[in-house]
Amino acid sequence: MSITVPVVLPDKHYLRTIKVQQGGIRALTHLALVRNASGIPHRAYVKQFPANAPRSLFNEWFGYVFMSALTVPQPPAAVLRAPIPGDTRMAWSFVSFEPMPRSEGTPKEIYHPASADQMKKLAERLLACHAFSTLAAADQLCINGDRNMGNLVFTGPRSFVAIDHSDILGGCDWLEDSLLHPTAWAPAKLVDFCQSIKTLTPPQRGALAAAADVAIETLYNQWQPLRAAVAGSREACLALDAVWWRSLDVARWYRDRLQLLP
């Protein structure tokens, strides 16, 4: 298993803006043409954060590294300085390249929330995805309370990539004390959604609980490579410490709080 750290691209790799995305709550996101690390132009989503979200760019970077260690599928990503649409300034930005060869869109874009039939199909599709249980466990480990229908992208009938880690570790402006002494577990929005649509079968509940155990084992096996990958960042080392302490209780939380086992 390899750990992936988003590369920092030169300014010149940003080629042009395609369109500004609608619906973002905290970040300004726009679709752009960006050269990847190999110099090949690709469509990419460029996220820029306001001053009142001082941790969001770091969260995106750390979340990407952490998720890669736990084998959560993600699109290629990078960091670069990019123009702010409609402005003359540049801003450090997190770049998520469009998944290749297939990108169906987010559940929010594909399924209509007012249709009970479509919501049932969405719940069934999420539960059938190979990485769903792994993502749910990884999100809880890194305190991601905002894994919603807009921040994963379907790439096939049973596959997706996870995007948007800007609200991990407790939010966009976490403090060190709250990071090292978390007082609450993060909402498990996707699991809660699936439970609200249909009663999970014993195998589905067992898979979610087992994924927590596997995620913890993977974290321990990857601990030293993770430390080495983020060694230059004091914030990242603090974040890893927070993840470590949560790992001691996350499996029990799945069993007791979500009542995933009969």
Task: Give 255-258 contacts, CB < 8 A, sequence gap 24+.
Answer: 255/209, 257/185, 258/188, 258/191, 258/208
For residues 250 and 151, the model is more confident at 151
The pTM is what?
A: 0.93
The two most distant CA atoms of the chain are separated, in Å, by 58
Fold of domain 7-97: Phosphorylase Kinase; domain 1 (3.30.200)
CATH number for the domain formed by residue range(s) 107-256: 1.10.1070
CA nearest 72: which of 140, 8, 26? 140
Q: What is the pLDDT of residues 220-231, one digit of tens each?
A: 999 999 999 999
pLDDT band at 259 (very low <50, low <70, confident <90, very high): low
H or E element, residue 60: helix 56-69
Give the model confidence (pLDDT) of 168-185 as tens digits. Answer: 998 889 888 878 776 677
Statement: residue 211 has pLDDT above 60: yes
Q: From residue 136, how far is each of 58, 173, 191 by CA, in Å?
A: 21, 23, 7
Residue 206 has pLDDT above 90, yes or no: no
Q: What is the pLDDT of residues 16-43, one digit of tens each?
A: 999 987 655 568 899 999 999 999 999 9
Query: Where in the chain are all domains bearing CATH 1.10.1070?
Result: 107-256
State the pairing for strand pair 159-162/90-97.
unpaired
| Amino acid 261: pLDDT | 46
Q: Average pLDDT for residues 116-133, to the nearest whole number? A: 94
Q: Where along the chain do the CATH 3.30.200 domains lie?
A: 7-97
Instruction: Report the pLDDT averaged over residues 181-191.
Output: 79
pLDDT at 256 over 80: no
The DSSP H or E segment spanning 210 is helix 202-221
